Amino acid sequence: MKLTPRFFDRTTTDGSPGWEFILPSLILLSLIGLPILALIWRSFNIETFKFAISESAVNALKLSLITSIVSVILSLVSGTPLAYIQVHWKFRGKALLDLLVDLPVVLPPSVAGIALLLAFGREGLFGAMLNKIGITLPFTSVAVIMAQVFVSAPLLVRSARIGFAAIDPQLEEAAKVEGATNWNVFRLIMLPLAGRALLTGVILSWTRALGEFGATLLFAGNLEGKTQTMPLAIYIGFEQGLGIALVLSVILLAVSLVLLTFLRKLELQSQH
Amino acid sequence: MNVVRHLAPQDHIWLKMNKSFVFLSLVIFVILSGCTKPGLGLISTIKTSQFTSPDKPSTLPATLPAKHTLMVFAAASLTGAFQEIGKNFEMTNPGVSINFNFAGSQILRTQLEQGALADVFASADHKNMDLLITENLVAGNTYQDFATNQLVVILPPGNPGDVQTLRDLARPNLKVILADASVPAGNYARQILSNMSKDPEFGADFSEKVLANVVSNETDVKQVVTKVELGEADAGIVYTSDSIASPDLLTISIPDNFNVIASYPIASLTSAPEPQLATAFVAYVTSPAGQAVLIKWGFSPGSQ
């Protein structure tokens, strides 16, 4: 490699990359791109699409959509106030709270599943009490939603926090001087201004909830129509033959792509 | 928009940081690419050292040939027994280390079909082994049945569902866990239920009623054991060997006229990287020493 001044000039002034940047990037791009390409390539087969209308595929799709939408709504309703508290209040133990809320983002989902089982299982720390009053959570659709919220809500909270933090504190003070209540400040100023960040959070957590696998398998089990979401159906289907797993994978891929495209649009809009 | 205006000053800092970052990474890149050969040398030394001394620090003299590693794919129900057999095999064959991959036989079969490299495959049923033979991954009819197993109903400690007899499995609202129908143990359990349905003592709808009580179809038999052990369900159907490996569980035996005898075939794979070692391991499993371990773990000797 030649260290010509021109080389440095080019990269430091306008930042356009040379092959030194393109080659390493290609490694990563092919690692991500080739499997996706293979997935799409193999699914171009009339044979596989007869699985698309199979009952278990439809059941898994329906269950995934319903549970993930409920998960996102729950995350939004409970995560937005939490993010607001995290941004606006100072109190002892806040660092610990921040840590707790961010933990599921880095925690392996299988750990989440075991933790959920030990807490809310029939003989679990709190599940035993619930069981006494006739509520059992494991192996129900509620357990699927709990697993999804556990792993996906923190993404929404993080995004909401960024949105709230970007709002000029003077706006809030001005509103309060004018006599606005806390709730009105939140509802009329903070929510509209953080709307885009919240929407980003919704999409991120929705895609994460749709893809949830490990925690669901451990905590909610695998029963068609009740707890068998698309990722579980893909796993089980893979063992029975590629067909059904392939079709479900392509459907999940398409849904994820649509959501991501929407997300990109939002990001681009907020830059203008 | 407000938000954008507020972020603007920070953006400037970012741009500056970006420039210095680009410069820095460039410098690092130049340094790294300048010393390509030593760099590659480093990588290859790491690799060879990994191969010559796997996880355990070897007490063998360095003059001995490089260690051999045997990759064994075995049904999840064999976990305890094969781990012990593996240890014994390693002790009688210095320089050999065995890696196990335990999972549902159908998962292992799929992995092998997708090109996973292994030397030996031990399945919990003939179906998955036969599929590999038709695909030429296992040489035709080279497999031997090395063990048999039967199934048993397990209950969690304390019997929360108050299951006293097999008939109780059909009681409404009981929570039953089975392995998925694609897993050998799950397939056997369903066969047993349909056998019982043919007996008027249980009634023709027995199987249907029990299957309606199923709250989860697990991906391997050990998952059924763990979840019943945790008390998440009132009953499960697993192998006799599983119930012996988990002594806390209560069991209800299934009479022979309904029960299924699961025979476990073992074979070395056609693409085995260590074919001789694979043959030696298969011979060890079927030898009296191997059989003794299997019996200890609740299996019956293979029907050879």
Residue B177 contacts A, CB cutoff 8 Å: yes
- On chain B, the residues whose CB falls within 8 A of the CB of A167 are 2-3
Find the domain containing A124 and state its range.
Answer: 56-271
CB contact under 8 A, A217 and B26: no
For residue A40, the model assigns a pLDDT of 87
| Phi (first) and psi of residue B99, to 5 degrees | -105, 135
**Strands ordered across the beta sheet of B262-268:** B96-103, B68-75, B120-122, B262-268, B144-149, B300-301
Lookup: tokens for B145: 């049945």
> Across-strand partners of B145?
B265
Most confident stretch, A262-266, B104-108, B113-117, B192-196: B192-196
Structurally, chain A folds into a number of domains equal to 1
Least confident of A137-141, B40-44, B127-131: B40-44
Q: Residue A221 is nearest to which of B7, B19, B215, comparing CB atoms?
A: B215
Distance from CA of B264 to the nearest CA of A (A): 19
Residue A227 contacts B, CB cutoff 8 Å: yes
List C-alpha distances in Å: B145 to A35, B125, B148, B261.
38, 10, 8, 12
Lookup: tokens for A66: 């319903």
* CATH number, residue A257: 1.10.3720.10
CB contacts under 8 A, A 180-209 vs B, are 193, 196
Q: Residue B231 is nearest to which of A122, A227, A238, comparing CB atoms?
A: A122
Place of tokens 């003077």: A170
> Across-strand partners of B155?
B250
First to last CA, chain A: 39
The model's pLDDT over A157-175, given as tens digits with 9 standing for 90+, comes to 999 999 999 988 888 888 8
What does the pLDDT average to over B224-234? 94
The model's pLDDT over A78-135, given as tens digits with 9 standing for 90+, comes to 999 999 999 988 888 899 999 999 999 999 998 999 999 999 998 889 999 998 898 8
Q: Is position A29 within any domain?
A: no
Q: Which of B24, B211, B215, B222 to mutate against chain A (most A CBs within 10 Å)?
A: B215
CB contact under 8 A, A139 and B1: no
CB contact under 8 A, A222 and B230: no
For residue B53, the model assigns a pLDDT of 38
Homologous superfamily (CATH) of B151-253 is: Periplasmic binding protein-like II (3.40.190.10)
The model's pLDDT over B236-288, given as tens digits with 9 standing for 90+, comes to 999 999 998 888 999 999 999 999 999 999 999 999 999 999 999 999 999 99
Output the average pLDDT for chain B: 81
For residue B32, the model assigns a pLDDT of 41
Least confident of A199-213, B81-95, B137-151, B181-195: B137-151
CB contact under 8 A, A11 and B26: yes
| Phi (first) and psi of residue B245, to 5 degrees | -70, -20
Q: How confident is the model at residue A244 (pLDDT cuts 50, 70, 90)?
A: confident
Place of tokens 């029960």: B259
Position B278: which residue type? A
Q: Is position A258 within any domain?
A: yes
Closest CA to B80 of B284, B222, B268: B222
Q: Residue B219 is nearest to which of A117, A122, A236, comparing CB atoms?
A: A236
- On chain B, the residues whose CB falls within 8 A of the CB of A15 are 18-19, 22
Lookup: tokens for B133: 């033979």
What does the pLDDT average to over B99-123? 91
- On chain B, the residues whose CB falls within 8 A of the CB of A239 are 104, 106-107, 110, 182, 219
Residue B198 or residue A3, greater confidence: B198
- Within B93-215, residue ranges assigned H as helices are 105-113, 126-134, 184-197, 206-212
Lookup: tokens for A58: 């439809």
- CATH of segment(s) B68-148+264-301: 3.40.190.10
Residue B215 contacts A, CB cutoff 8 Å: yes
pLDDT beyond 50 at B35: no
Buried b (16+ CB within 10 A) or exposed e, B112-150: beeeeebbbbbbbbbebbbbbbeeebbeeeebbbbbbbb
Residue B26 contacts A, CB cutoff 8 Å: yes
CB contact under 8 A, B216 and A167: no
CB contact under 8 A, A222 and B2: no
Distance CA B295, CA B304 (A): 15
Q: Is position A38 within any domain?
A: no
Residue B111 contacts A, CB cutoff 8 Å: no
List of residues 6+ apart from A244 with CB closer than 8 A = A51, A54, A56, A57, A233, A237
Q: Measured on CA atoms in the order A79, A84, A86, A89, is the torsion positive or negative? A: negative
Place of tokens 């397939």: B187
CB contact under 8 A, B233 and A139: yes
The model's pLDDT over B16-26, given as tens digits with 9 standing for 90+, comes to 444 444 444 44
For residue A14, the model assigns a pLDDT of 57
Residue A10 contacts B, CB cutoff 8 Å: no
Distance from CA of A206 to the nearest CA of B (A): 25
Residue B6 contacts A, CB cutoff 8 Å: yes
Output the average pLDDT for chain A: 86
Domains of chain B: which residue ranges?
68-148+264-301, 151-253
* Polymer length in residues for chain A: 272
**DSSP 3-state of B251:** strand
Q: Angle A192-A197-A201 (CA atoms, 0-180°, nearest 5)?
A: 125
Whether B151-253 and B68-148+264-301 are alike in CATH topology: the answer is yes
CB contact under 8 A, A168 and B180: no
Could you tell me what percent of chain B has a pLDDT over 70? Answer: 77
The model's pLDDT over A3-44, given as tens digits with 9 standing for 90+, comes to 444 544 444 455 666 888 889 999 999 999 999 998 888 877
Report the run of H or E that residue A139 belongs to, with start and end. Answer: none
Residue B18 contacts A, CB cutoff 8 Å: yes
Q: Residue A240 is nearest to which of B156, B182, B214, comparing CB atoms?
A: B182
